[in-house]
Amino acid sequence: MNNYAIPFLPQQASSISGEVDLLYLFMILTTLFFSAIIITMLVVFVIKYHRRSPNEIPRPIAGAIGLELTWTIIPFFIAMGMFVWGAKLYVQQYHVPKDAMDIYVVGKQWMWKLQHPTGQREINELHVPLGRKVKLIMTTEDVIHCFYIPDFRVKADVIPGRYTTLWFEATKVGRYHLFCSEYCGTNHSLMGGWVEVMTPEDYEKWLSGQGGDLTPAAAGKKLSETLGCASCHGSEGEGGRCPAWKGLYGTQVKMDNGSTAVANEDYIKESILNPGAKVVAGYGNIMPTFQGQVSEEQLLQLIAYIKSIGPTQGAPGSTTTTSGATTNGATSGAPNGTTNAKPASSPAQGGAVVAGQGLTNTNTNTAPPNRRNNRQ
């Protein structure tokens, strides 16, 4: 489907937008077709079978099994076709490709803060390369927001206390509106911005001209050192009292109650803010909480650092950790040297120490203010 094929729709500027429009067009035309049939038959029957005298009694109708089956089976298959088509698109849209470039997004009344894998930060603007899959890892510092790019046909709620992912692949160079589509307060209507799609060459030039912020992973490492995380964790577990961070991300962590959890972004965040929620087998519940002491951006930076020293990014949970899970829901690390993985950077500023037992007391956010960064 070409851009502007349907005049009243936003232009199609992503790999999925054409198929989304086709599905909606099919649903609209199907609805109009059957509505026209029903209204036409209604008018015909009203005229043909209206009562001709006050005492007229219509003859009884026995029914028609064939007719009943027809108007039950045909709509059933049409509805199931819409369901299968929609489910396919849903899976396609929410199953993030492994080769996607990670960008961290933090929503805040009333702005979007974003950070690139190489450290560049933006507010209410996002520069991306044409033809490159982009994965957004999103959270919010306050209320519920919704990240929406109409021209890409992508939208996802951004919810406090958890991470939401969204991906797209831009197919046309240009500048596209970005909105918050969830009412989030008095200045909700001002919470918007732009996505700038550039050729890969122009994107590289843009990156090189944006100055030298630390990458999220580098910022996370620096913050973990400032906060004293290594005294308990250490990338190799040299602290001794807590599991190692190296090789942790994406692995299965065994808890002291026999359950397991995947060491993903949500798990690491919970381990920092509520260490006692999930205590790793073999460790005590001794890590202090960092609730209220680290910002969302700082959390993302620590996550990026842990990911950068983790195993090769595969499906979460693909590797099981042995005895070195992190304490108290903290990042329980795949100890004994799980394989190193591709560096991921994570954007938040300032880093809280993850699940570490006996972590030194935290400082507050010293990290840079704006965006989060890439991962995976």
Identify the CA nearest to 355 among candidates 297, 306, 318: 306
Q: How far apart are CA 250 and CA 328, in angstroms?
A: 17
pLDDT at 283: 76
pLDDT at 336: 36
pLDDT at 254: 83
Instruction: Give the chain's residues under pLDDT 70.
Output: 1-7, 210-213, 225, 227-228, 234-240, 292-293, 310-376
Identify the CA nearest to 104 among candidates 119, 91, 90: 119
Max intra-chain CA distance, the chain: 97
How far the first Cα of the chain sits from its last, in Å, is: 32
Q: Strand, coil or helix: what is 295?
A: coil
Identify the CA nearest to 262 among candidates 339, 310, 331: 331
At 83, the amino acid letter reads F
Q: How far apart are CA 267 and CA 235, in angstroms?
A: 18
Per residue in 32-64, pLDDT (tens digit) is 999 999 999 999 999 888 888 888 787 787 778
pLDDT at 338: 36
Q: How far apart are CA 247 and CA 331, in angstroms?
A: 10
pLDDT at 316: 41
Q: Tell me the CATH number of domain 101-208, given options 3.30.1360.120, 2.60.290.11, 2.60.40.420, 3.40.50.300.
A: 2.60.40.420
Task: For residue 294, give Cα distances in angstroms to 69, 150, 192, 274, 291.
Answer: 62, 33, 26, 13, 7
Q: How far apart are CA 34 and CA 69, in angstroms?
A: 17
pLDDT at 259: 86
- What is the secondary structure of 230-249 as a DSSP string? GGT--TTSTTSSS---TT-T
pLDDT at 262: 85
Sole residue written with tokens 């005298």: 53
Domain 214-376, CATH:
1.10.760.10
pLDDT at 34: 93
pLDDT at 156: 92
